[in-house]
Structure 1
Amino acid sequence: MGISVKSVFPGDGKTFPQKGDIVSIHYVATLEDGTIFDSSYNRGKPFTVEIGTGQAIKGWDEGVPLLSQGEKAILTTPPDLAYGENGVPPLIPPNSTLTFEMELLEIIRPRVASSKSE
């Protein structure tokens, strides 16, 4: 089973993150029983990460590019696309399906060096 993305508030519908983009996301992360194990809101600032480069769990690398800027969605990530059979004790038990209620706040595209001579 792969990731599941359920939109709860539409974004702009045209600006989607691509591999290598840096995204700013607010999220609440829960276990299947509803236990919150992480929240960017509790830290008082959004989480910023480069997408598609292995800096986040595989479920984020696959799911976040499906969201458009400003979208709020529920991303459900199976264990093999999260922390797998090891989990992250004591917060995340082995083989846990994780749910992220997230809002894609900003997409930052890296600058590409210009090959033109000025």
Structure 2
Amino acid sequence: MAQRLAVSNGTRAPFSSGVTRAAPRAAKLVCRASSQQQQQQINAGLLQKAAAFAAAGVIALSGPAAFAAAEEGQLLCDASCVSKLESVPAVTTPSGLVYKDIIVGTGPQPIVGYQVVVNYIAMNDKGREFENSLGKAPFDVRVGAGQVIPGLDEGMLSMKVGGVRRLYIPGELAFPKPLKAAAGRPSVPANTPVVFDVQLLYIPGLEADE
């Protein structure tokens, strides 16, 4: 089941913009619970569909041998991949975001406001991993809606389904508030550069032609 990159119940999601929402009133809990159950059912269907597309070869959930498969190494870009990235041309956008495509997708491209299903690995400016969706569940998020940090939002919008991309996100497009250290996870100071490896799995409503 897909997890949501969203902020709720007064807590801040790891990749949120840093804005914390107030906890919902008790009177709204029943409605919210029902809505969440419906969304969970939808998300489960999305992931099943993504897996079906992958099995049919419509989208690529794993790349060449140089790129580690999620189930094997829990990485989207292994040591060999990192070495190869040195020769991959970097793209710098007007905002200051820099990215390199590990695998260029061949499927549809997201539209602002559309839901996407992704895997990701997040690292601080020293290369230490602080979040990893592999081995858990992919995340679904609406792109261009401000549900994640600006650099991640922008980086996903120009990807295509089946693609894997490394995003070098400058501090001004990263976390406006610090992320505290936890067991096995380093802290991430506010407004410091971060690196994301992102794998675009599926876009509901923009299925590739079979």
TM tier, smaller: 0.7 to 0.9
- Tell me, yes or no, if structure 1 residue 94 matches structure 2 residue 94: no
- Tell me, yes or no, if structure 1 residue 6 matches structure 2 residue 97: no
How big is the alpha-carbon RMSD for the aligned residues of Structure 1 and Structure 2?
1.7
C-alpha displacement at 1:9, in angstroms? 0.8
Aligned equivalents of 2:155, 2:147: Cα separation in 1: 14
* Bigger RCO of structures 1 and 2 (CA < 8 A, at least 6 apart): 1
**TM-score, normalised to structure 2's length?**
0.48
8 A Cα contact 1:76 1:100, kept in partner: yes
Aligned residue among 126, 132, 138 for 1:33: 126
Aligned residue among 136, 156, 162 for 1:64: 156
8 A Cα contact 2:152 2:196, kept in partner: no
Q: Which has the higher helix share?
A: 2
Moved over 2 A (4+): none
- Read off the aligned partner of 1:6 and give its amino acid letter: K
Q: What corresponds to 2:165 in structure 1?
A: 73
- Read off the aligned partner of 2:144 and give its amino acid letter: G
Aligned equivalents of 1:66, 1:17: Cα separation in 2: 7
C-alpha displacement at 1:104, in angstroms? 0.4
**TM-score, normalised to structure 1's length?**
0.82
Give the greater-gyration-radius structure (CA).
2
Q: What corresponds to 1:17 in structure 2?
A: 110
C-alpha displacement at 1:87, in angstroms? 2.1
Q: What corresponds to 1:107 in structure 2?
A: 203
Measured against aligned partners, the alpha-carbon deviations of 1:2-27 in whole angstroms (never above 9, x if no partner) come to 11121011110x51101111111111
Q: How many residues align?
A: 107
